[in-house]
């Protein structure tokens, strides 16, 4: 239960980082972002990935209530479908976005690792065998960062040479980044400790 609570705190911190990044760099207007398909896909991927990982923790956690596990499983299947749909949508949209191909490649790679980690964690399949064992939380952290970086890049001025949004960010954004890393480290330690205690 504590791990799930900490996971929600991590998600809230990540959302605050994205919100702060959007308002710290001049670029696309809020209305432009709302109607940008790439931004929408990235935002939905971010939420679906976090919820899928939370469902996995719920299914494999100490609470073995059959009804609770069934709810986690139902939501997990829904989130995996959402991840698949939005990853395909972002692929199609990304073909038109020549300026952000590097960010899109990182999203693609992080999704491969995340899907493998989810499959391995649920025992549904061995996942991508070429990747070996993929820890869930680091894979989720990488994917969340990739989604956030792409979404935040859409707030940058449309010039050939722009500074990465983090480099121009205010002090608050840096503190949020540090807080996110600390929270992720604590959650990873809790999961590893729980498995070692078994």
DSSP string over 129-195? GGG----HHHHHHHHHHHHHHHHHHTTS-S-SS---TTTT--HHHHHHHHHHHHHHHHHHHHHHHHH
This prediction has a pTM of: 0.62
pLDDT of residue 97 exceeding 90: no
pLDDT tens digit sequence for 42-66: 999 999 999 999 999 888 875 677 8
Neighbours of 100 (CB within 10 A): 17
pLDDT tens digit sequence for 151-181: 888 876 544 333 444 444 455 555 666 666 6
Share of the chain above pLDDT 90, in %: 34
pLDDT at 142 (0 to 100): 94
DSSP state of 76: H
CA–CA separation, 143 and 110 (whole Å): 5
Domain interval for residue 43: 2-197
pLDDT at 106 (0 to 100): 95
Confidence of residue 25 (pLDDT cuts 50, 70, 90): very low
Number of domains into which the chain is organized:
1
């Amino acid at each position: 239960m504590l791990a799930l609570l900490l996971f929600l705190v991590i998600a809230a911190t990540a959302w605050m980082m994205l919100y702060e990044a959007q308002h710290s760099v001049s670029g696309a207007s809020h209305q432009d972002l709302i109607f940008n398909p790439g931004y929408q896909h990235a935002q939905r991927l971010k939420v679906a990935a976090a919820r899928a990982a939370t469902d996995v923790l719920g299914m494999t956690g100490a609470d073995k209530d059959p009804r609770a596990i069934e709810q986690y499983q139902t939501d997990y299947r829904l989130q995996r479908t959402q991840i698949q749909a939005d990853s395909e949508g972002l692929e199609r949209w990304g073909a038109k976005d020549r300026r952000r191909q590097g960010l899109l490649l990182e999203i693609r790679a992080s999704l491969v690792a995340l899907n493998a980690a989810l499959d391995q964690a649920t025992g549904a399949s061995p996942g991508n065998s070429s990747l070996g064992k993929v820890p869930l939380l680091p894979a989720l952290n990488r994917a969340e960062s990739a989604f956030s970086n792409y979404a935040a890049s859409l707030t940058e001025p449309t010039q050939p040479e722009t500074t990465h949004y983090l480099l121009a960010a205010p002090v608050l954004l840096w503190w949020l980044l540090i807080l996110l890393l600390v929270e992720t480290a604590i959650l990873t330690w809790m999961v590893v400790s729980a498995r070692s205690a078994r």
